[in-house]
Amino acid sequence: ATPAGTPPPFPADPNRYLDPTRAPLLNDVAGDREKRDYDGLTLRIEHSLPWAEFTSTTAYRHFSSLNRQDNDGSNNPAVYLSTTNVEGNRSVQQEFRLTGKSATAHWLAGVSFYDERAAQSALADATTTSLDTLSGNLLGTPLFSTVNQLAAAAGVAGIDLLSLPWQERMSNVARNRAQ
């Protein structure tokens, strides 16, 4: 068994591949979970008038989700990677409609309103240790370990850039309205 924190060989050695149906499930993401909430309400009122049919439709929708997962498939801190998706959405809709028919035509008239607010954030979490592994494999030099070694060689004590959290976030906000 390879000790935790040991960078995997690069390129990968096919002789060390594991059968995923027999290998243990390993996960090192704190707070990994998946949650979705959806609430909605629609009120529809129909009323016959002597000359037309009146319909009112009112709707409210609310959606939120959180999905945080392990993306490296291991509990090895040398390759830690997780992603998180957080979303929220709220919409309100109102429509008033009149429909009718005469000997010469079927007709429809109405007005509507729609308002939506939405937000989403996508996060990628790593550590300087896992980025050190990545840079070592791709560039041939583990960047953070190299800085640690240079600082130690220069006599600068207390520099340790490994095991620090690293997060990238992309956030989007939308406001949509139709009248």
Paired with 157 in beta bridges are none
What pLDDT does 104 receive?
93
**More confident position, 141 or 172:** 172
53-70, strands of its sheet edge to edge: 33-48, 53-70, 81-101, 106-127, 165-178
What pLDDT does 20 receive?
86
The arithmetic mean of pLDDT across residues 85-97, rounded, is 98
What pLDDT does 4 receive?
58
What pLDDT does 21 receive?
92
Domain ranges in the chain? 26-178
The percentage of residues in the chain with a pLDDT greater than 90, rounded to a whole number, is 70
pLDDT in tens, 1-54: 555 567 777 888 899 888 989 988 888 888 889 999 999 999 999 999 999 999
Distance from C-alpha of 87 to C-alpha of 64, rounded to nearest angstrom: 5
The arithmetic mean of pLDDT across residues 63-88, rounded, is 93
What pLDDT does 73 receive?
83
**Location of structure tokens 């995923």:** 20
What pLDDT does 74 receive?
85
Q: What is the mean pLDDT of the chain?
A: 92
Buried b (16+ CB within 10 A) or exposed e, 73-112: ebebbbbbbbebebbbbebebbeebeeeeeeeeeeeeeee
Q: How far is CA 140 from CA 134, 157, 179, in A?
A: 9, 25, 58
Write down the pTM of the prediction.
Answer: 0.74
Tokens, residue 52? 């037309």
Residue 151 reports pLDDT greater than 60? yes
